[in-house]
């Protein structure tokens, strides 16, 4: 059992660092950035971050590789038709669920 | 749009995030109690941090009683990507967002909330952001509590299926703009290849996940900012953001 005081000390440091990282840029950058390079960079970065976070992590997000690949396929197809986020998320989850249920049968 | 409907729209957009968070934080709850912390400690960590990778790395540091400096460095490295996101978000904030409100919104900058925010066509207003961060934070905390209380409340098949929810959402955010702008598609492709290299290539796979994501984003972002800079005029810039 960890001492409660020690726990709160760690908690404060952990939450504090995490919050400052989020807060400082949001509070300091209050003007629109003029530099064309930086604006271009900021335009691309979000998509790059999301892509890097998805591949290859998505392949290991379910019980098995096959269900993950088919879940990803479902998500890609639904997204190409520009379905809502919730629709895409539920579609992928259902695909994974059904594939894993079928796999258990064999 | 008035404040209330903006808030409701944010709330609605936050529901898929909330669903995804339930499963991830559920796993965190199980993990944390398994490491020897109490249910309340697990819940408090989730409520105050709202970040998956950082929390997963932080718990063993608390349990092991490692130096606080280690906690600072670990959280800094793993969560540094949020700085990039906050800079991006700062450019999309409406003029009506007050300074104090920025302090509150900052608390809710997560990968998924950021992703949904930047996919909005309009500038971001305070009520929308408040709505957007409400359900995910509630889901994140509730999921942790459920996981900590009873690791076997949900059948494993359901937990496994929910595991893909967040990634599916990322796909849904990245693909439509990639269809319209080949440069975005290229940028995503470069980031994915780099990220796969960090995962599968022996020496590179030693690099922490947080750093790997930052490097992938910086490299592909810089390449495409140089090769395909966004148009200079304000009007075109708006179109670019919407595309």
| B243 touches A at CB < 8 Å | no
**Spatial distance between the Cα atoms of B224 and B164, rounded to a whole number of angstroms:** 29
- Within-domain flag for A23: no
- Residues of chain A with Cβ-Cβ distance to B241 below 8 Å are 43
Whether pTM > 0.90 for this model: the answer is: no
> What's chain A's Rg over C-alpha atoms?
21
Asked whether B19 and B165 are in contact (CB, 8 A), the reply is yes
Average confidence (pLDDT) over B150-178: 78
Per-residue H/E/C for B165-211: HHHHHHHHHHHHHHHHCHHHHHHHHHHHHHHHHHHHCCCHHHCCHHH
Instruction: Output the pLDDT for position B34.
Output: 77
> pLDDT: is B104 or A63 the higher one?
B104
Average confidence (pLDDT) over B22-39: 83
- Within-domain flag for A4: no
Contact B191 A83 (CB under 8 A): no
Average confidence (pLDDT) over B148-173: 76
Asked whether B56 and B28 are in contact (CB, 8 A), the reply is yes
pLDDT value at B242 more than 70: no
**Closest CA–CA distance from residue B121 to any residue of chain A (Å):** 13
For chain A, what percent of residues have pLDDT higher than 70?
99
* Whole-complex ipTM: 0.84
**Facing B83 at nearest CB: one of A21, A61, A89:** A21
Asked whether B81 and B57 are in contact (CB, 8 A), the reply is no
Q: Which of B161, B173, B188, B195 to mutate to test binding with chain A, by most A CBs within 10 Å of its CB?
A: B161
Nearest CA in chain B to A82: B176
**Facing B171 at nearest CB: one of A45, A68, A75:** A75
Q: What DSSP string runs through A70-102?
A: HHHHHHHHHHHTT--HHHHHHHHHHHHHHHHHH
- Within-domain flag for A12: no
- Residues of chain B with Cβ-Cβ distance to A39 below 8 Å are 91, 230, 237
**Spatial distance between the Cα atoms of A15 and B223, rounded to a whole number of angstroms:** 34
- Residues of chain B with Cβ-Cβ distance to A33 below 8 Å are 91
Give the confidence band of B235 by pLDDT, cuts at 50, 70, 90.
very low
Domain of residue A37, residue span: 31-105
Give the confidence band of B107 by pLDDT, cuts at 50, 70, 90.
very high
Instruction: Output the pLDDT for position B152.
Output: 54
Average confidence (pLDDT) over A2-19: 94
Q: For B32-85, what is each residue's pLDDT tens digit?
A: 887 889 999 999 999 999 987 788 778 888 998 888 988 888 788 778 888 888
**Facing B230 at nearest CB: one of A39, A86, A91:** A39
**Closest CA–CA distance from residue A66 to any residue of chain B (Å):** 12
pLDDT value at A6 more than 90: yes
- Within-domain flag for A24: no
Asked whether B188 and B178 are in contact (CB, 8 A), the reply is yes
Task: For residue A71, give Cα distances in angstroms to A34, A57, A63, A67, A89.
Answer: 41, 13, 12, 6, 9
pLDDT value at B210 more than 80: no
**Spatial distance between the Cα atoms of A23 and B159, rounded to a whole number of angstroms:** 32
Instruction: Output the pLDDT for position B180.
Output: 93
Average confidence (pLDDT) over A44-63: 86
Instruction: Output the pLDDT for position B73.
Output: 82
pLDDT value at B193 more than 50: yes
Q: For A13-32, what is each residue's pLDDT tens digit?
A: 999 999 999 999 999 988 87
Give SS3 for B243: coil
Count of domains for chain A: 1
Average pLDDT, chain B: 86
């Amino acid at each position: 059992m960890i001492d409660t005081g020690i726990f709160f000390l760690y908690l404060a440091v952990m939450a504090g660092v995490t919050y400052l990282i989020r807060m400082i840029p949001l509070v300091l950058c209050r003007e629109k950035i003029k530099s064309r390079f930086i604006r271009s960079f900021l335009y691309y970065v979000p998509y790059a971050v999301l892509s890097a976070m998805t591949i290859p992590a998505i392949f290991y997000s379910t019980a098995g590789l096959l269900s993950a690949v088919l879940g990803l396929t479902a998500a890609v197809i639904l997204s190409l038709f520009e379905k809502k986020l919730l629709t895409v998320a539920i579609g992928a989850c259902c695909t994974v669920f059904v594939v894993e249920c079928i796999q258990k049968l064999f | 749009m008035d404040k209330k409907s903006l808030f409701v729209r944010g709330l609605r957009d936050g529901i898929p995030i909330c669903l995804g968070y339930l499963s991830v934080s559920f796993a965190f709850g199980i993990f944390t109690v398994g490491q020897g912390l109490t249910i309340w400690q697990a819940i408090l960590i989730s409520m105050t941090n709202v970040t998956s990778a950082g929390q997963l790395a932080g718990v063993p540091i608390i349990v092991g009683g490692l130096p606080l400096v280690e906690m600072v460095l670990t959280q800094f490295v793993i969560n540094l990507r949020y700085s990039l996101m906050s800079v991006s978000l700062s450019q999309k904030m409406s003029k009506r967002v007050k300074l104090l409100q920025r302090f509150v919104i900052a608390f809710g900058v997560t990968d998924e909330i950021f992703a949904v925010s930047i996919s909005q066509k309009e500038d971001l207003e305070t009520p929308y952001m408040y709505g957007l961060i409400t359900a995910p934070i509630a889901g994140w905390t509730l999921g942790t509590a459920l996981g900590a209380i009873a690791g076997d409340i949900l059948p494993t098949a359901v937990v496994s299926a929910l595991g893909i929810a967040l990634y599916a959402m990322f796909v849904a955010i990245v693909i439509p703009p990639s269809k319209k702008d080949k440069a975005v598609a290229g940028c995503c492709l470069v980031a994915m290849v780099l990220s796969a290299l960090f995962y599968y290539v022996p020496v590179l796979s030693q690099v922490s996940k947080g750093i790997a994501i930052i490097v992938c984003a910086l490299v592909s972002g810089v390449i495409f900012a140089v090769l395909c800079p966004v148009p200079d005029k304000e009007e075109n810039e708006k179109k670019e953001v919407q595309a």
